[in-house]
Amino acid sequence: MASPAEGGADPNTKKDIVLTSTPIETFADLALIEPLQRALIADGYKKPTPIQQQAIPILLEGRDMIGCAQTGTGKTAAFALPLLQSLYHEPKAVSTKCARILVLSPTRELAGQIHDSFGAYGRYINVRRTTIFGGVSSQGQIKAMARGVDVLVATPGRLLDLINQGRVCLDEVDAFVLDEADRMLDMGFIPDIRKIAAKLPTDRQTLLFSATMAPGVTKLANTLLRNPMRVDIAPESTTADTVKQEIMFVDRPAKVKTLLELLDNGIYKAIVFTRTKHGANRLDGQLHKGGVKAVAIHGNKSQNARKKALEAFQNGHLQVLVATDVAARGLDIDDVTHVINYDMPDQPDAYVHRIGRTGRAGNEGIAISLCDSSERHLLRDIERLIGKSLTGGAAPPPMKQGHNDGPSAGKGFNKKKPFKSHRKGPKSGEKKPWQASESGKPSGDRKTEAGGEAKQKRRRRRSRPGQPQIKREAA
């Protein structure tokens, strides 16, 4: 529902209003110009999503707006289409180093995808656009800005660097878009955003989009927007209905083997999330050893490497993309069938963003989380945030530290194999780490067995007759 956040003092203050008395069935009902409608038809768009239905009329009126919507709801088109229409109706020359529309995004990948979306929607109108982000040489970016552009999509750090070098000027910005504001907050970009905003004209249209409205995001909105309208497409911190969520309780030593078996269980295209960059690289190597075509993507990878990895994954050459939370917000791939949380996220709202990578564009998806005993408090935080139990109310099974007990599926875990994987499964009769041995105890792994044999050998050596016994005295 769309409502005004009165006075610009508190975007959470709402007064319900009616935007339109007629149902919106097509993009023509939104009064979009013919070139934009033609581009949408060419890209296969048929009916506007809820955020597009509510946001586009507000933005066409030139109002400031806060959009609180989950990822995958079509919010890029919700702000790109009306801004492109304003460029079409109000053409004017842009000075050197300047831009008319500035969009800030938290990651390079997301910046590139927003840039491409403006190109796709604006293919039948004359729009100059460019991107500015780190990880690549700035020379091409400086050259593009020297001519002036209509649309500039940037990450805060590199943009601020070029502003300070005198290579970018924000004096002619008519519209400022802050996308994924909650992720900006998490990544520590708020000081840079405030510095950038201070260089913008006061007479501008400002849009802020966020999947969650954390207190820090609300505070930022209070300072940047004037009498904004607020559009809420779903309750904050909820997960999409198109994503089926499952929990598997797994001891950490069994996570890799469990993941390999899941991937051999008919998973076509999956994003697997780890907590750290090092963890992503390590898991990438372990998956390769297990015969899975995978690649890791995170902030330490060069822009070229990240681009190649994404292209290979999008084109179906890879089964798995291993990613960190920094990369999560920049991924917009419609046919991801599964998201797997190899590590539970430290921040509960990151869970919402992670699983939003599947179940996009009307498709259904599955999110599976591998939760070990040290992460159960993180699971409880997630359940509190999203307002529902992910275990179906059942208590998790007890776990013993140091034992490779393996997985225990939460409610609704599907063990069917809908189609054959490219990898061979475990050999018939092969013992799983969580299967009981003949003695009824967990079988353990080779390292555990080898360790037991070594202890027996040491005991035998110590007990040989004639061997001097060394007695250790307390200090």
Question: Which residues lie closer than 8 Å to 14 by C-beta, 6 or more apart?
Answer: 3, 4, 5, 230
Whether residue 292 is predicted with pLDDT greater than 50 in this model: the reply is: yes
- Reduced to 3 states (helix: H, G, I; strand: E, B; else coil), residue 468 is coil
Does residue 416 form part of some domain? no
Spatial separation of the C-alpha atoms in residues 260 and 246, rounded to whole Å? 17
E strands within 123-201? Answer: 129-132, 149-154, 175-178
Does residue 300 register a pLDDT over 60? Answer: yes
The CATH number of the domain where 65 resides is what?
Answer: 3.40.50.300
Q: Taken in order 72, 73, 79, 84, is the CA torsion positive or negative?
A: positive
**Pair of tokens at residue 62:** 């030139």
Number of domain units in the chain: 2
| Over residues 143-170, mean pLDDT | 97
pLDDT reported for residue 204: 97
Q: So what's the pLDDT on residue 395?
A: 57
CA distance 263 to 319: 8
Highest mean pLDDT among 186-190, 281-285, 446-450: 281-285
Q: State CA 225 to chain mean position distance.
A: 25
The answer to whether residue 182 sits within a structural domain is: yes
Which structural domain range is residue 321 located in?
243-409
Regarding whether 179 and 52 lie in a shared domain, the answer is yes
- φ, ψ for residue 231 (rounded to 5)? -115, 120
In the predicted structure, residue 348 carries a pLDDT above the cut 90: no
Tokens 């023509």 belong to residue: 28
Structural domain includes residue 156:
yes
In a domain, 382, yes or no: yes
- Report the pLDDT averaged over residues 291-297: 94
Using alpha carbons only, what angle is made at residue 371 by residues 332 and 275, rounded to the nearest 5 degrees?
50
- Whether 455 maps to a domain, the answer reads no
- 474 within domain boundaries: no
Mean pLDDT of the chain: 80
More confident residue, 127 or 303: 127
Q: Are residues 222 and 289 in the same domain?
A: no
- DSSP structure string for 34-64: HHHHHHHHHTT--S--HHHHHHHHHHHTT--
Least confident of 69-73, 154-158, 161-165, 280-284: 69-73
Does 134 fall in a domain?
Answer: yes
| Interval 392-416: pLDDT, tens | 655 566 655 444 444 554 443 444 4
**Are residues 254 and 286 in contact, defined by beta-carbon separation less than 8 angstroms?**
no
